[in-house]
């Protein structure tokens, strides 16, 4: 099977690296063809800090996915996160040459490309330019200006920025692992694609993705991305706290957290004790579950309070910006017992756990439908969209070459801007990123 028939998402996380192969079936659901997983050894808090180890981990995950599926992986869509990620709001406008012509997608591209030229801080690069609302000749709150008449086209943008060195390092790892970089996507946006419904995005929702190294936030309202943030703490720092607080090794701390951990200390009785095997013949260590929960609770409260500050910074307290659908928790950290109740207690907002099963075919493995794989599934969805867009452009090109233009139809073809073969802003960003990474070699 050629890679044109399937797509690949690659989640380079702090604790694990996941390669996931899939395609859309006849019901527009995603069929998982293969999955590979390896321990992530060269990533700290979402940022690559050991190129050699990361390349090895990527190759292990890719080989496992190829073995499980019997397919060959060429191009991948990769997620990016880390504390170097920041976002900002920006407004910009263009004055159109001919206001008697309707606004088309080229006008929107011109406006977006203008934002890509913004001067960032030294060492920073724009990752995403996400349009919010448009204005045409002063008329506000327009979601889709295509087909309208107007001379001045304005828009508010959500701009996501990252460190050039971190982006280069990710690209270098992909290339050195023998893969092509199809696209790069902010991880909370990928997770949001996988677990949020359109109704939630319209009503207003905050997605909190608790990973091993970072906690990612994406806020949607009226179907539009409004705010993103990356908190540089995740499940890994909770494990570290347990290790220090109980004087045990990391492996035991992680096992304790997963098997007995709770975000709510009141749920444990004083006499509930777990015994940990001593190292190399030493005496076993006894730990009360109440103490374990207190350690976990302290760190989780800190993480959620930081996220809640970001939600308030967005303006959730204002009536127009209220997040009616509340909070959706996903990622490996969301599986911690009683976390949902604690988040509701701190924020006062309705909360649910987000599973990426809505978009998956019915016969998908239960493991893939876990919050652990939300980002990987979202990246796969992004890869499938890219593939569909390229296929559509290819078909349009073939049609253009095959069908002669008949006299009298030239006007119709220019009047319908949607039928023009064109590249999206994401395609242009992807090409720009590839050139940027090639030049960095």
| Strand 205-210 versus strand 327-330 pairing type | parallel
Tokens of 245: 């607080």
| Whole-number Å distance between alpha carbons of 183 and 161 | 16
What is the average per-residue pLDDT within 262-286? 83
Coil, strand or helix at 281: helix
CATH topology of domain 235-299: Nucleotidyltransferase; domain 5 (3.30.420)
Whose CA is closest to 81, among 222, 153, 221, 184?
184
What single string gives the DSSP state of each residue in 367-403?
GGGSGGGHHHHHHHHHHHHHHHHHHHHHHHHHHHHHS
Of 351 and 282, more confident: 351
Q: Cα separations (Å) of 380 from 33, 233, 377?
A: 11, 25, 5
Contact indicator for 133, 141 with CB cutoff of 8 Å: yes
pLDDT of the residue at 420: 44
Query: What mean pLDDT, rounded, does the chain reach?
Result: 88
Contact indicator for 157, 129 with CB cutoff of 8 Å: yes
pLDDT tens track for 209-231: 999 999 999 999 999 999 999 99
| Cα separation of the two ends of the chain | 31
13's CB contacts (< 8 A; 6+ apart) are 40, 43, 46, 211, 212, 213, 375
Whose CA is closest to 155, among 93, 106, 102?
93
Q: Residue 390 — very low, low, confident or very high, per pLDDT cuts 50/70/90?
A: confident
User: What are the residue boundaries of the structural domains of the chain, listed by start?
Assistant: 235-299
Asked whether residue 147 carries a pLDDT value surpassing 70, the answer given is: yes
pLDDT of the residue at 83: 84
Contact indicator for 179, 76 with CB cutoff of 8 Å: yes
Whose CA is closest to 146, among 106, 94, 110?
106
pLDDT of the residue at 418: 41
Contact indicator for 295, 301 with CB cutoff of 8 Å: no
pLDDT of the residue at 280: 75
Of 415 and 179, more confident: 179
Share of the chain above pLDDT 70, in %: 88
| Whole-number Å distance between alpha carbons of 304 and 312 | 12
What is the average per-residue pLDDT within 250-254? 93
pLDDT of the residue at 411: 45
Contact indicator for 17, 65 with CB cutoff of 8 Å: no
Handedness of CA 385, 180, 127, 318 (dihedral sign): positive
pTM: 0.86
Tokens of 108: 């929107």
pLDDT tens track for 300-345: 999 999 999 999 999 988 988 999 999 999 999 999 999 999 999 9
Bridge partners of 252? none
């Amino acid at each position: 099977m050629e890679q044109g028939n399937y797509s690949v998402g690659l989640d380079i996380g702090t604790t694990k690296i996941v390669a996931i192969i899939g395609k859309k079936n006849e019901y527009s659901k995603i069929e998982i063809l293969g999955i590979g997983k390896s321990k992530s050894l060269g990533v700290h808090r979402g940022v690559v800090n050991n190129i050699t180890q990361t390349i090895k981990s990527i190759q292990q995950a890719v080989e496992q996915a190829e073995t499980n599926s019997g397919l060959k992986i060429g191009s991948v869509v990769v997620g990016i996160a880390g504390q170097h990620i920041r976002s900002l709001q920006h407004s910009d406008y263009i004055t159109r040459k001919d206001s008697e012509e309707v606004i088309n997608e080229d006008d929107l591209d011109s406006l977006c490309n203008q934002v890509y030229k913004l001067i960032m801080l030294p060492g920073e690069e724009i990752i995403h330019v996400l349009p919010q609302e448009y204005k045409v000749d002063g008329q506000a709150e327009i979601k889709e200006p295509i087909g309208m008449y107007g001379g001045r086209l304005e828009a508010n943008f959500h701009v996501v920025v990252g460190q050039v060195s971190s982006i280069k390092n990710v690209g270098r790892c992909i290339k050195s692992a023998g893969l092509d970089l199809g696209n790069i996507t902010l991880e909370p946006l990928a997770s949001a694609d996988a677990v949020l419904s359109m109704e939630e995005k319209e009503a207003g929702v905050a997605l909190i993705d608790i990973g091993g190294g970072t906690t990612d936030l994406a806020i949607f309202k009226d179907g539009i991305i409004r705010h993103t943030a990356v908190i540089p703490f995740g499940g890994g720092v909770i494990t570290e706290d347990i290790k220090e607080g109980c004087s045990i090794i990391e492996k035991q701390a992680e096992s304790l957290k997963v098997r007995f951990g709770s975000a709510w200390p009141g749920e444990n009785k004083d006499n509930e004790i777990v015994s940990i095997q001593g190292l190399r013949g030493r005496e076993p260590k006894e730990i009360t579950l109440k103490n374990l929960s207190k350690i976990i609770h302290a760190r989780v409260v800190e993480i959620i309070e930081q996220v809640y500050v970001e939600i308030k910074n967005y303006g959730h307290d204002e009536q127009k910006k209220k997040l009616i659908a509340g909070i959706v928790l996903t990622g490996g950290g969301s599986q911690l017992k009683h976390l949902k109740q604690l988040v509701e207690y701190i924020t006062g907002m309705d909360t649910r756990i987000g599973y990426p099963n809505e978009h998956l075919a019915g016969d998908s493995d239960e493991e893939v439908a876990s919050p652990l794989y939300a980002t990987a599934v979202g990246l796969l969805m992004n890869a499938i969209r890219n593939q569909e867009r390229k296929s559509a452009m290819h078909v349009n090109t073939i049609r253009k070459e095959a069908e002669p233009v008949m006299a009298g139809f030239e006007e119709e073809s220019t009047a319908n801007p949607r039928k023009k073969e064109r590249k999206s802003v994401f395609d242009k960003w992807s090409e720009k990123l590839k050139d940027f990474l090639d030049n960095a070699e």
